[in-house]
A and B are shown apart, each in its own frame.
Chain A
Amino acid sequence: MQNTELLNEGLALMALGMGFVFTFLTVLVISVTLMSGAVRRFQPAPVPSAPVRRGPTGTSPKDDEVQAVISAAVHRYRRQKGRDS
């Protein structure tokens, strides 16, 4: 008889534990979603803009100028090097 008691207790702990884990993580999902929503609303994501700025298409005129100068120099260097060898 004591065996079934142990078994029942195990079953109860299983149901309770699994139920609690799910409840807790559901609450966590809800709070994370709400928190993310609030944060993104009051502080519109600064992160996505970062990779755009880092992209190869530099838009400021100064960047363009610098890029042109550098590529011209590289071009000339390569041509020179090609002639030497």
Chain B
Amino acid sequence: MDKIITLWEGSGLYNLQLGQAAMIVVGLVLLYLAIYKKFEPLLLVPIGFGGILANIPEAGLAISALDQAIEVGKPAVLQQIAAAFGIALDPLASAESWRVALKSVADGNASADALRAAKDVVVNVGYSDGMLYNFYKVAIGTGVAPLIIFMGVGAMTDFGPLLANPRTLFLGAAAQFGIFATLFGAVALSSMGVMDFSLNQAAAIGIIGGADGPTSIYVSSVLAPELLGAIAVAAYAYMALVPLIQPPIMRLLTSKKEREITMTQLRPVSKLEKIIFPLMLLILVALFLPDAAPLLGMFCFGNLMRECGVVERLSDTSQNALINIVTIILGLSVGSKLMAESFLSVETLGILGLGIVAFGIGTAAGVLMAKLMNLVSKMPINPLIGAAGVSAVPMAARVANKVGLEANPHNFLLMHAMGPNVAGVIGSAVAAGVMIKYLG
């Protein structure tokens, strides 16, 4: 009978907490959105699955060896950990209260030496870091995964339309207003006492408006790792929702006549220009904003590999095999941050709400900037392409093209919209650099 009770007490069903059950449901919802609604499936499938794995009770896939031991270890192990921390456990209290006490020490004021000693203790008795915890530490903790993805994005990006019409860079700049307006919104919410965001957290939330997955993950891993799960989920979910979020805003801000504007055909761009551009961008970053160098440096490197034409194999690997491998690991690592205690909170709702506002403001700012440019320049600009200034390559450009075709079936804006689209990638990376410089 004792054996059966032990088995029962070791089962997932016995140990399942309400929060974990809720998070498993959240993981399943993400999988549903990815599989049936085709919401960024490449990322949401690994994220959703990782979220489920991270919430399996007792398995501790997403936590460190020490946390795992504190959560499920036998009383003898707890005593050893307490000795390593140099605290005394109340012998009369239950093991549960010991766990709570040890947890608060481990999360709070334990010195680095004490933590290391405690870690040695638990490793000696056979606990090890969870698989997802290791993935997270390697892929996101070091910042490597988002940067490799950025390299792949660089290798996939064609700067031709941007080089043919460099003024579209302004549209990419204007759309970054969404980032900063949301930052301000988050700060305002916490100063009114509705939510509690620090400036760092507000900045990480704002970057959702950059509509750029790897940039969002990179910035939040530097500025606010505790919000990473919610921010990544919001960023990718809204990127998938671009075709729903943007068109109403675009229609609201433009007249039918403006949407019908046809643009002059882009001039052809020579290979030499395409080779010089990433190098020039890199030099400008080096001169003005070294903090954006990790992101834009990898981006330029990927693009140079694509355009120089002599490292076909490297370019092919970075835009196919490598980016796929890293996407799997990145997705699972983000999923590991979908743990109940950090995800199920009012802040997550705030992040989801602010994220969509960021998108909307970014789109509106891009469109308005295009209208402004139309007033001052001779060359006509269709304001719809301003909406493509939020990155979300190439979804936002396709949306601009589609709305343009609705107004005038012979007006193909896709290539024109690719200019502000890739400008948006550069713009959000620059914005990320500014935030890291200011707050990091």
Interface of A with B (CB < 8 Å)?
3-4, 6-7, 9-11, 13-14, 16-18, 20-22, 24-29, 31-33, 35-36, 39-40, 43, 45-48
Contact = CB atoms under 8 A, between A and B. Distances in A.
Q: 6 shortest A-B CB distances, which residue pairs?
A: A10-B187, A3-B191, A47-B268, A14-B180, A32-B166, A25-B173
A47 B409 CA distance: 29
Contact of B202 (A10, A21, A25, A31): A10
Interface string B255-272: 000000000000011111
B35 interface: no
Given A10-B188, A25-B170, A35-B276, 11 more contacts: A9-B187, A13-B183, A14-B181, A16-B438, A17-B183, A21-B430, A25-B169, A26-B173, A28-B169, A28-B426, A47-B271
Given A13-B438, A17-B180, A31-B280, A6 B199 contact: yes
Contacts of B431: 17, 21
Interface string B45-66: 0000000000000000000000
Interface residues of B, number: 47
Contacts of B434: 16-17, 20-21
Candidate in B169, B277, B289, B435 with the most chain A CB atoms within 10 angstroms: B169
A45 B276 CA distance: 15
- Please report whether the interface of chain A is mostly helix, strand, loop or mixed according to DSSP: helix
Interface of B: 162-163, 166-167, 169-170, 172-173, 176-177, 179-181, 183-184, 186-188, 190-193, 199, 202-203, 268-273, 276-277, 280-281, 284, 288-289, 423, 426-427, 430-431, 434-435, 438-439
19 contacts: A10-B184, A13-B203, A14-B181, A17-B434, A17-B435, A18-B180, A21-B431, A22-B173, A25-B169, A28-B426, A29-B167, A32-B162, A35-B277, A36-B273, A39-B270, A39-B276, A45-B268, A45-B270, A48-B268
